[in-house]
Amino acid sequence: MKIQTGNSEQAPEGVHFARLLGITNMGHQPEWEWQGEMQPSSYQVELTYELVNSAMKDGRPFVISESVKASSSDKSTLFARAQVLGIDVAAFAEGEGLGNPASVTVAHKNGKARINGKAGVTGVPVGIPVAELTNPTYFFDMDKEDVDVDYFLELPEWKRERIQSALDFPETPLAKKLAERDQF
């Protein structure tokens, strides 16, 4: 499954109607530096949204992602996203909420389009229709026994590398299946 998007154009700044396109389990990511300070390792989930009312010059929709801590705390970004999408936070682990509508605020920081912080994904006003997705939804979890290795191999190289850098990656069903194919 290839998502119909490209890297050449940045989503325009502002508030966009969107739908949750994909959920990716990124695993237990190692500590990392942000604004000169080390951030502790944490379990991460990538949420991807298709901006359904915004298109690139060639007609393909803009797609934007965010990586958030996989936390059920009511103060977490993941909890806030679950509320906006009308699901329980634990449902993300099962791929629920895919296709649900939201409003996504895009800001440009350091020349890159990003979701504008914790408040960057909100609900859609009642009664306003939100266009359907162009791309098929997806859910990828390296911890599932029936993980799709072929789908993993189609991911962009940077995303494969990030998943494989997870501290818990070597014990996952995905790692075992890749090893069986001599690809890990």
Residue 94: alpha-carbon gap to chain centroid: 14
Q: pTM (2 decimals)?
A: 0.90
Tens digit of each residue's pLDDT (9 = 90 or more) over 56-76: 999 999 999 999 999 889 999
Q: What residue segments make up the domains of the chain, in order of their start? A: 14-141, 142-184
Exposure on the CB side of residue 37, measured as CA atoms within 13 A? 3
Give the 3-state secondary structure of residue 62: strand
Indicate the burial class of 143 (C-beta count within 10 angstroms; 0-12, 13-18, 19 or more).
middle
- How many Cβ atoms from other residues are within 10 Å of residue 16's Cβ? 21
Give the chain's mean pLDDT: 91
Q: Which residue has the higher pLDDT, 182 or 152?
A: 152
Mean of the pLDDT values across residues 141-163? 94
Task: Please tell me the distance from the alpha carbon of residue 91 to that of residue 79, in angstroms, as a whole number.
Answer: 11
**Which amino acid is it at 89?**
V
- The pair of three-digit structure tokens given for residue 147, joined into one six-digit string: 């993980």
Task: Please tell me the distance from the alpha carbon of residue 71 to that of residue 45, in angstroms, as a whole number.
Answer: 9
Tens digit of each residue's pLDDT (9 = 90 or more) over 15-48: 999 999 999 999 999 998 877 888 899 999 999 9
- pLDDT for res 4: 46
Tens digit of each residue's pLDDT (9 = 90 or more) over 104-150: 999 998 889 999 888 899 999 999 999 999 999 999 999 999 999 99
- How many Cβ atoms from other residues are within 10 Å of residue 82's Cβ? 20
- How many Cβ atoms from other residues are within 10 Å of residue 98's Cβ? 19
